[in-house]
Amino acid sequence: MAKKRKNKYNHYTEDFRREAVRRSEDPNTSAAEVAKELGIHPGQIYNWRRQYKRLSEKQFNSMNGVDYSKQESEEVRKLKREIADLKEENEFLKKATAYFSKDKW
């Protein structure tokens, strides 16, 4: 297992993270023991474990009917941008309607 150093922050390889999580899930060892062996904070292992349980391709990519796969996420971002544009356009039209209705009276 190799870990990389970049600037003052530690950047760990994907293999390093997966191995740390796999070793910490062994019933005979604790995450704190594994963290001490690897020279990292135990909270980091818990964070990685949580991330892999949520987003791992081996796990479910959907929760409560929402698909969290990459393709679905791109579509969601596109739709959110479209909603923001439509809201902005709607606000403009409301202001324009109010402006033009004042001139008639």
Q: 47-78: per-residue pLDDT in tens? A: 888 887 776 554 445 555 555 566 667 788 88
- CA dist., res. 12 & res. 39, Å (int): 12
- For residue 4, what are the β-bridge partners? 11
| Start-to-end Cα distance in the chain | 77
Predicted local confidence at residue 10, as pLDDT: 64
- Cβ–Cβ < 8 Å for 2, 16: yes
- Cβ–Cβ < 8 Å for 54, 30: no
What residue type is 2 in one-letter code?
A
Q: What is the pTM of this model?
A: 0.45
- CA dist., res. 105 & res. 92, Å (int): 21
